[in-house]
Amino acid sequence: MWYVYFLQLRNGDVYVGSTNDLRRRFESHRSGYVTSTKAYLPATLKSYIAVETEVNARQLERYFKTGSGKAFAGKRFWSH
């Protein structure tokens, strides 16, 4: 199983990532080991989507990083 996940960062931004081990990856973010999020901790896991393959997860991650993908995710996976 692969996961596309959404983190709410301290500065209000939402980080989108994908992994096959959500607990380990979230702990990496929380511990400051991820360069792109360590300056904006604490981070809160807002939502995640489970998919069967890495290919699907990476495609969804790319989509959710686009303007329309961010809008879609914001309306359906967390409230502002």
Q: What residue spans define the domains of the chain?
A: 2-76
Q: Name the 3-class secondary structure at 65.
A: coil
What is the pLDDT, as a whole number, of residue 77? 83
Tell me what the pLDDT averaged over the chain comes to: 95
What is the pLDDT, as a whole number, of residue 13? 94
- Enclosing H/E stretch for 20: none
pLDDT at residue 48 is higher than 60: yes
Which CATH architecture best describes the domain 2-76? 3-Layer(aba) Sandwich (3.40)
pTM of the model: 0.93
pLDDT at residue 19 is higher than 60: yes
